[in-house]
Amino acid sequence: MIPMVNLKAQYAEIKNEVERGLAETIEKCAFILGPNVQAFEKETAEYLGVKHAIGVASGTDALHLALIAEGIGAGDEVITTAFTFIATAEAIKYVGATPVFVDIDPRTFNISPEAIEKAITSKTRAVMPVHLFGQPAEMTEIVQICEQYSLKLIEDCCQSFGASINGKQTGALGHAAGFSFFPSKNLGAFGDGGLVVTNSDETAAKIRQLRNHGSDVRYYHDVIGYNSRLDEMQAVILRAKLKRIDQYNQARRHVAHLYSELMADLPLISPYEDDLGEHVYHQYTLLCDRRDAILKALQDKQIGCAIYYPVPLHQQNVFKEECAGLSLPVTESVSANCFSLPICPFLEDDKVREIVGVIRGVLTA
């Protein structure tokens, strides 16, 4: 049996450090916004090359609070991709804005800069690109468009911790960005967690207030806020993993490159990479018109495999009516042919060979 991600192998490596940190936290009973959250915020801001990092309760909350802090609300349009996890669009809906879904680049699966520019109207206030599967979106063009049209740029970095483009980390390129620490993400907690990053002092101050009941000073409340704090126990775990994140992402890249090399002669399309961006392979996602046969063969051998994402957002029940008549041909064709293989820092080369052997069996039969 080969799982999609092997979190047990990762835990074995950090067990002592994590257990020590958790025991200390329990001993001190400093559970909410304690020293580990503070230290983690400092360490991630440094790592990502941003002025502020604010721990929150989830990636979804990170995006939601970032939109509020950037002043996006009712009547505003936010241009984004339909080929993503639902939370990207949920955050936009939470603030009363309208997600405007545009098509993707067939190579990177990320939002197309040309499509963004075509979708701009007088109501457009923000662009929310997703660095999908750990692949940085085309940020040079997107930053330029946002500057030209005075739009807020809010990055969904929930799958891209550690990815960079032109030497800059994803999350450091827009007005604000949201990260997720869901357990299976590249930097994962042992539960939910998230982070907002920004270079703006004003945005950072608003997020700090919003995550803590609209309060800067205890029991004095300036706005209606939320209970959305990163948990102190999760911060202990995240600090241990943050120290090793480059090593983890390099190991993911090694697995991805081995897959691509071993499948180079097969009739499928492996993930695109160029030297502008450093892909951190949250997922290793391919295209093949014989996807169903491959998935069945992998399942028969108890090898993990998944479709991210089988239904693009504009075709989900929740958006069907709102998006009636919207056609996104590249998004639709990618979601009809994509599938993802197991990938994590602890997947051994011989397992990768075994998985490729199964796929080769299907495609050369």
Ligand X SMILES: *Cc1c(COP(=O)(O)O)cnc(C)c1O
Cα angle, residue 184 at apex, residues 130 and 12 outer, rounded to 5°: 145
Give yes or no for residue 271 binding ligand X (CB under 6 A). Answer: no
Give yes or no for residue 110 binding ligand X (CB under 6 A). Answer: no
Give yes or no for residue 342 binding ligand X (CB under 6 A). Answer: no
Q: Is 9 helix (H, G, I), strand (E, B) or coil?
A: helix
**Closest CB 76 distance from ligand X, rounded Å:** 19
Segment contacting ligand X by CB under 6 A, of 11-19, 101-109, 152-160, 166-174: 152-160
Question: Tokens representing 39?
Answer: 């230290």
Cα 192 to Cα 60: distance, rounded to the nearest angstrom: 10
Q: How far is CA 165 from CA 35, 274, 276, 280, 327, in A?
A: 32, 10, 6, 11, 30
The DSSP code for 203 is H
**Closest CB 20 distance from ligand X, rounded Å:** 26
Give yes or no for residue 194 binding ligand X (CB under 6 A). Answer: yes
Sheet holding 168-169, edge to edge: 168-169, 164-165, 277-278
Strand partners, 176: 154
- Dihedral pair phi/psi, residue 199, rounded to 5°: -95, -5
Give yes or no for residue 108 binding ligand X (CB under 6 A). Answer: no
Give yes or no for residue 182 binding ligand X (CB under 6 A). Answer: yes
Give yes or no for residue 135 binding ligand X (CB under 6 A). Answer: no
**Binder of ligand X out of 58, 135, 331, 335 (CB under 6 A):** 58
Give yes or no for residue 130 binding ligand X (CB under 6 A). Answer: yes
**Closest CB 154 distance from ligand X, rounded Å:** 12
Question: Which residue blocks in the chain are alpha helix, DSSP H?
Answer: 7-28, 35-48, 59-69, 87-94, 113-119, 139-148, 201-210, 232-242, 245-262, 291-300, 317-320, 329-337, 349-364
Residue nearest ligand X (C-beta atom): 59
Q: Which is nearer to ligand X, 59 or 171 (CB)?
A: 59
Output the furthest CA–CA distance in the chain (Å, rounded): 69
Give yes or no for residue 85 binding ligand X (CB under 6 A). Answer: yes
Q: Which is nearer to ligand X, 36 or 81 (CB)?
A: 81
Q: Which is nearer to ligand X, 57 or 352 (CB)?
A: 57
Segment contacting ligand X by CB under 6 A, of 54-62, 75-83, 266-274, 343-351: 54-62
Contacts with ligand X by CB under 6 A lie at 58-60, 84-85, 87-88, 130, 156, 158-159, 180, 182, 192, 194
